[in-house]
Structure 1
Amino acid sequence: MREKDYESKGIGCYMFRIDDDTVIDATMHGNAARFINHSCDPNCYSRVVDILGKKHIIIFALRRILRGEELTYDYKFPIEEDKIPCTCGTRRCRKYLN
């Protein structure tokens, strides 16, 4: 419901699915990590970890990242019939986020 509400208001949507039942919505209250973009050839990856019974999203580097280089990870959206075009521009681009 929130995603559709944000879309109807022209607000960018910054959500991260933790599991089948939990989604973190950083659209209105999130840190700078919410702006990490998707890439089909990313320099980072994300993991959900449990720390003292609370789930956290951790971003890890896949390689050395140069100063000023954009951080990216693969959003790994589920495959759906309605395709979301990918504009990452890498040689490994799959053309769609899902």
Structure 2
Amino acid sequence: MVIEYAGTVIRAVLTDKREKYYDGKGIGCYMFRIDDFDVVDATMQGNAARFINHSCEPNCYSRVINVDGRKHIVIFALRKIYRGEELTYDYKFPIEDENSKLHCNCGTRRCRRFLN
């Protein structure tokens, strides 16, 4: 285990509204989906996990785990991580049509060119 993705748990139906609010205020948006119903919003009350970048060849992976009936998002190491090495994981965004594609800038040999 590397770190838990911490923040405020909100209903998934509120994410678009919050994202528009943050965009209007010029605030970067950091959200991570737990399941179809809940999302962790780390934008205002998150920890350093929100700054972990995407990579198509990551050194970490994320999992939703259940602890005492509560779901938590945890980042785990895929391999030994060396001092000074950037932490990355695959965001695994849902596939979108060509007009909604988000370009990937990870620069790895196996880059898929898009996050979604």
TM-score category, normalised to shorter length: over 0.9
As a proportion of its length, which structure holds more helix?
2
How big is the shift at 1:26?
Answer: 0.2
Residues 8-51 of structure 1 deviation map (CA, whole Å, 9 limit, x = unaligned): 22211110000111110000000111111000000000000010
Identity %: 76
Rounded to whole Å, the distance in 2 between the matches of 1:87 and 1:10 is 22
Alignment-derived partner of residue 102 in structure 2 = 84
Secondary structure (helix, strand or coil) at the match of 1:78 reads coil
Tell me whether 1:45 sits opposite 2:61 in the alignment: yes
Q: Following the alignment from structure 2 to structure 1, what is the Cα–Cα distance between the partners of residues 70 and 96?
A: 30
One-letter amino acid matched to 1:7: D
Superposition pairs of residues 49-60 of structure 1, within 5 angstroms: 49-60=65-76
Distance 2:27 2:114 in 1: 22
Compute the TM-score of the two structures, normalised by the length of structure 2.
Answer: 0.82
Aligned letter for 2:105?
T
What is the CA–CA distance in structure 2 between the aligned matches of 1:21 and 1:47, rounded to whole Å?
16
Separation in structure 1 between the aligned mates of residue 56 and residue 27 of structure 2, nearest angstrom: 24
State the Cα distance separating 1:96 from its structure 2 match.
0.6
Distance 2:24 2:96 in 1: 21
Question: Displaced runs of 4+ in structure 1, greater than 6 A?
Answer: none
Pairwise CA RMSD? 0.8
Instruction: Give the number of equivalent residue pairs.
Output: 98
Could you tell me which runs of 5 or more consecutive residues in structure 2 were left unpaired when the two chains were aligned. Answer: 1-16
Shift of 1:69: 0.4
Where structure 1 has 5 or more consecutive residues not aligned to the other structure, the ranges are: none
